């Protein structure tokens, strides 16, 4: 019990249980202010009318938010001047405030640490490439899954994020791209990946609503194709199956990190609840349902999971399903300070990749953009919070 208080890692992280992952003080923190993105179309109309405005104003607000990416009352020129601020106050509370911005790769990688209404910290990373721009976003404050090699896992889970908090990361990045605030001039945010802090399946409802609003055409959403959205999970099987049933063609990424249960039990505690067979079966079914290749994320850790025997085993596990259904992304681990899990030898990485290729598996070493600015998942926020706690 005392360990739980000290580390913040919830029971879910240790036992792989799924429903009890919210930290005990979740209720005490209260909920983030309700935002336009948290409301159904009917609720938006109700609130507009409660302000004494005709219902068509709800559509204008959607246009400002999703098409123009604006929450600035000065831009609401189709609104009566005297009501612009009221509308912003009622629909667009400030949900995320930038605390720290780190830039790398000649300004094409921008990592932002955000402060939420209750003082919580989360992060997002924008990565601009020649043909696409990807935003990596957070869906929970911290993470309750307790993977021992992960900075976010060390924080435990503080709370789920609201749809508005998730979506604001996207709006701000889309606006920065459009306005030319990222090196390379004006452009378009084309891809979104749920690979920042948190386990998206642990906050399913808000994440799904965010996905729908990211992918709907303006003025219902930001108009980023669902095919360009990736949801990354540690292997929450019911979540994978539920997402497959939604029929939205988002890409699934599974953080496998180990090719067998003995090792994965140690690296990913959730494996004790849903083992590698269940996870791979669900991932393969997702592929069949969505016709989208599943990404298998695999953080290479020196001497732990990066040897030839692991690569061969991984290839066998994936080839068991017969079709070219998965794309493996071995990721050089960006180690957290003082951890016994450290990055692989480049030679071992090469051999690992080579074995997969020879076995007919599609695999590319994942780009470690921003590794010079604390690029590992959750690391920036984790570092900030761990140091402010000490």
Residues in contact with ligand SF4 by the rule CB under 6 A: 143, 145-147, 150, 152-153, 199, 234, 255, 377-378
Residue 357 annotated as binding site: no
Tell me: is residue 42 an annotated ligand-binding position.
no
Closer residue to ligand SF4 (CB): 152 or 160 = 152
Give the sign of the dihedral formed by CA 163, CA 16, CA 153, CA 28. positive
Nearest distance from residue 143's CB to ligand SF4, in Å? 3
Other beta carbons within 10 Å of 304: 20
2 labelled binding-site residue: no
| CA 335 – CA 348 distance, rounded (Å) | 16
What is the helix (H) or strand (E) element at residue 254, kind and residue range? strand 251-255
Nearest residue to 331 (alpha-carbon basis) of 353, 288, 356, 300: 300
Residue 156 CB, shortest distance to ligand SF4, in Å, is 9
Peptide bond into 219 cis (omega under 30): yes
Nearest alpha-carbon partner for 241 in 275, 176, 300, 287: 287
- Residue 232, marked binder: yes
Q: Are 16 and 272 in contact (CB under 8 A)?
A: yes
Task: State yes or no: 150 annotated in a binding site.
Answer: yes
| Identified catalytic residue from 165, 297, 349, 377 | 377
Q: Is 256 annotated as a binding residue?
A: yes
**Which of 337, 347 has the CB closer to ligand SF4?**
337
Contact 126, 135 (CB under 8 A): yes
Taking the complex as a whole, the smallest distance from the CB of residue 50 to ligand SF4 amounts, in Å, to 39
Q: Which is nearer to ligand SF4, 210 or 268 (CB)?
A: 268
Q: Which residue has the closest beta carbon to ligand SF4? A: 153
Is 168 a known ligand-binding residue?
A: no
**C-alpha 188: how far from chain center:** 19
- Identify which of residues 143 and 172 has a Cβ nearer to ligand SF4 in the complex: 143
Cis, bond preceding 277 (omega within 30 deg of 0): no
What length does the chain have? Answer: 390
Q: 226 or 301, CB closer to ligand SF4? A: 301
Residues 6+ apart with CB under 8 A from 117: 32, 33, 93, 95
Closer by beta carbon to ligand SF4, 213 or else 276: 276
Q: Which residue number, 87 or 331, has a Cβ lying nearer to ligand SF4?
A: 331
**How buried is residue 374: exposed, middle or buried, by Cβ count under 10 Å (0-12/13-18/19+)?**
buried
**Residue 234 Cβ, how far from ligand SF4 at the closest point, in Å?**
4
What DSSP string runs through 257-296? Answer: --SSHHHHHHH-GGGGTS-HHHHHHHHHHHHHHH--PEEE
For this structure, is 136 an active site residue? no
Residue 377 annotated to the active site:
yes
H or E element that contains 206: helix 204-215
Contact (CB, 8 A) for 83 and 90: no
Closest CA to 283 of 257, 252, 255, 327: 252
| CB 56, min distance to ligand SF4, A | 43
Query: Does 136 show up as a binding residue in the annotation?
Result: no
Among residues 123, 165, 168, 349, the one annotated as catalytic is 123
Q: Which residues are catalytic?
A: 123, 377
Q: Which residues are annotated as a binding site for [4Fe-4S] cluster?
A: 143, 147, 150
Q: Which residues are annotated as a binding site?
A: 143, 147, 150, 198-199, 232, 255-257, 334
Q: Which residues are annotated as a binding site for S-adenosyl-L-methionine?
A: 198-199, 232, 255-257, 334
């Amino acid at each position: 019990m005392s360990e739980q208080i000290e580390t913040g890692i919830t029971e879910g992280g240790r036992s792989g249980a799924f429903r009890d992952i919210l930290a005990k003080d979740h209720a005490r923190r209260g909920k983030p202010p309700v935002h336009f993105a948290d409301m159904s179309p009917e609720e938006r109309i109700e609130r507009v009318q409660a302000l004494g405005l005709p219902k068509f104003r709800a559509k204008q607000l959607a246009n400002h938010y999703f098409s123009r990416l604006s929450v600035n009352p000065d831009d609401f020129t189709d609104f009566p001047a005297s009501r612009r601020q009221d509308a912003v106050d009622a629909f667009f509370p400030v949900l995320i405030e930038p605390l720290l911005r780190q830039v790398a790769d000649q300004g094409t990688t921008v990592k932002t640490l955000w402060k939420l209404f209750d003082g919580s910290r989360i992060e997002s990373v924008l990565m601009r490439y020649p043909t696409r721009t990807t935003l990596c976003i957070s869906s929970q404050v911290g993470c309750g899954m307790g993977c021992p090699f992960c900075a976010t896992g060390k924080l435990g889970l503080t709370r789920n994020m609201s749809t508005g908090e998730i979506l604001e990361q996207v709006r701000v990045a889309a606006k920065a791209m459009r306005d030319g605030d990222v090196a390379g001039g004006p452009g378009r945010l084309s891809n979104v990946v749920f690979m920042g802090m948190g386990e998206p399946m642990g906050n399913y409802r808000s994440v799904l609503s965010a996905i729908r609003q990211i992918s709907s055409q303006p003025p219902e959403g930001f108009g980023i194709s669902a095919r360009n959205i990736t949801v990354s999970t540690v292997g929450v099987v019911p979540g994978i199956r539920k997402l497959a049933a939604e029929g939205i063609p988002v890409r699934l990424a599974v953080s496998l990190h180990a090719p067998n249960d003995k090792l994965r039990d140690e690296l990913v505690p959730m494996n004790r609840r849903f083992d590698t067979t269940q996870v791979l079966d669900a991932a393969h079914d997702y592929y069949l349902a969505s016709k989208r290749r599943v990404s298998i994320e695999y953080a290479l850790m020196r001497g732990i999971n990066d040897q030839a025997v692991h690569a061969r085993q991984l290839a066998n596990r994936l080839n068991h399903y017969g079709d070219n259904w998965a794309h493996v992304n071995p990721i050089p681990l960006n180690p957290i300070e003082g951890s016994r899990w450290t990055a692989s030898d480049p030679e071992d990485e090469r051999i690992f990749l080579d074995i997969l290729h020879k076995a007919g598996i599609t695999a590319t070493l994942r780009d470690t953009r921003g590794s010079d600015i604390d690029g590992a998942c959750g690391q920036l926020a984790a570092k900030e919070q761990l140091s402010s706690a000490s």
